[in-house]
């Protein structure tokens, strides 16, 4: 598979959020036009917060038919949704403060009862029902990257989870228990977009951009692409400073 990592180096965090918001709007409108809906899987962490807030503001809020948007999760911390660590809570406190998505379109990863494994199976089933097949094809998966090269809740040195949604019990990034889309699920997406900022990720980002997606030993973030081998990386100058020469798309 021909790999292509598109690199966009934003001038500032606001520029990065604006570029990301513009791309989300474009993908949402194309998806709705072609398929009548837009399936978007979201990540947690601190980087995407500004994007989620920006999407509730003009011109982005009005530029998307939010009634056609289905929100999913790339991963979730296995805590109650009211917990300060919950990504569901992050989305409710940012994006859903300013846009209205029908309740049935807000596909949260279940974490309120049962075991992580039981809930991973429940979410797998929800994805099968929504996408009508064993492998979900998200229109866009929004991802971050940790300084160790993890993405979603797929961590270096951990075996590749099987299936579509997996339970993680030993996340090096707290909280330790999580649910995550697997590489299989992520790699089927139509589009994958990373938001990466901060000097503490610069060396790892350079390593990712030098890596071969087919190298099973590569960092999890380096092994991610959309179905056709492409991925978009929206980064700030600090995170990009160690990348060796790379032709941006
Ligand atoms: C999570 C995320 C995780 C995150 C990265 C980057 O729920 O923790 O899914 O994969 O995207 O750790 O986090 P920051 O954006 O906070 O650096």
Residue with the two structure tokens 């998200």: 138
Ligand 1 atom with least separation from CA of 48:
15
pLDDT of residue 3: 77
Q: How far is the CA of 44 from the centre of ligand 1 (A)?
A: 5
Burial code (b: 16+ CB inside 10 Å, e: under 16) for 113-131 equals eeebeebbbebbebbeebb
For all residues of the chain together, what is the average pLDDT? 96
Beta bridge partner(s), residue 154: 151
Structure tokens at 129: 């029902």
Taking the C-alpha atoms of residue 223 and residue 175, their distance in angstroms, rounded to an integer, is 23
Ligand 1 atom with least separation from CA of 152:
10
The stretch 29-36 carries a mean pLDDT of 98
For the cut 90, the answer to whether the pLDDT of residue 161 exceeds it is yes
Question: How wide is the angle at C-alpha 130 spanned by C-alphas 55 and 99, nearest 5°?
Answer: 20
pLDDT tens figures, 48-98: 999 999 999 999 999 999 999 999 999 999 999 999 999 999 999 999 999
Structure tokens at 75: 């991963």
Other Cβ atoms within 10 Å of 241 Cβ, number: 14
pLDDT band at 244, cuts 50/70/90?
confident
Is the Cβ–Cβ distance between 36 and 70 less than 8 Å? Answer: no
Secondary structure element (H or E) that encloses residue 63, with its range = helix 60-63
- Of all protein residues, the one whose alpha carbon is nearest to atom 11 of ligand 1 is 144
For the cut 80, the answer to whether the pLDDT of residue 107 exceeds it is yes
Answer yes or no: is the C-beta of 204 below 6 A from any ligand 1 atom: no
Q: What SS3 state is found at 156? A: coil
Answer yes or no: is the C-beta of 47 below 6 A from any ligand 1 atom: yes
pLDDT of residue 40: 99
Answer yes or no: is the C-beta of 180 below 6 A from any ligand 1 atom: no
pLDDT tens figures, 162-211: 999 999 999 999 999 999 999 999 999 999 999 999 999 999 999 999 99
Answer yes or no: is the C-beta of 75 below 6 A from any ligand 1 atom: yes
pLDDT tens figures, 119-128: 999 999 999 9
Q: What is the CATH number of domain 4-240?
A: 3.40.50.1360
């Amino acid at each position: 598979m021909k790999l292509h990592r598109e690199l966009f180096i934003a001038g500032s965090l606001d520029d990065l959020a604006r570029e990301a918001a513009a791309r989300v709007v474009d993908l949402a409108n194309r998806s709705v036009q072609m398929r009548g809906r837009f399936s978007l899987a979201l990540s947690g962490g601190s980087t995407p917060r500004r994007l989620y807030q920006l999407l509730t503001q003009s011109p982005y809020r009005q530029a998307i038919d939010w009634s056609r948007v289905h929100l999913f999760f790339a991963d979730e911390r296995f805590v109650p949704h009211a917990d300060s660590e919950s990504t569901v809570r992050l989305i409710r406190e940012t994006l859903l403060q300013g846009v209205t998505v029908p309740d049935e379109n807000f596909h949260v990863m279940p974490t309120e009862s049962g075991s992580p494994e039981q809930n991973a199976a429940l979410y797998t089933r929800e994805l099968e029902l929504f996408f009508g097949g064993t492998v979900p094809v998200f229109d866009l998966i929004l991802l971050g990257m940790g300084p160790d090269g993890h993405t979603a809740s797929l961590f270096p040195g951990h075996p590749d989870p099987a299936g579509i949604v997996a339970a993680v019990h030993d996340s090096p990034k707290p909280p330790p228990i999580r649910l995550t889309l697997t590489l299989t699920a992520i790699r089927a997406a139509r589009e994958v977009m990373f938001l990466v900022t901060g000097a503490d990720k610069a060396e790892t980002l350079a390593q990712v951009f030098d890596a071969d997606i087919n190298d099973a030993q590569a960092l999890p973030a380096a092994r991610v692409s959309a179905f056709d081998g492409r991925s978009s990386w929206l980064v700030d100058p600090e995170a990009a400073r160690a990348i060796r020469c790379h032709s941006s798309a």
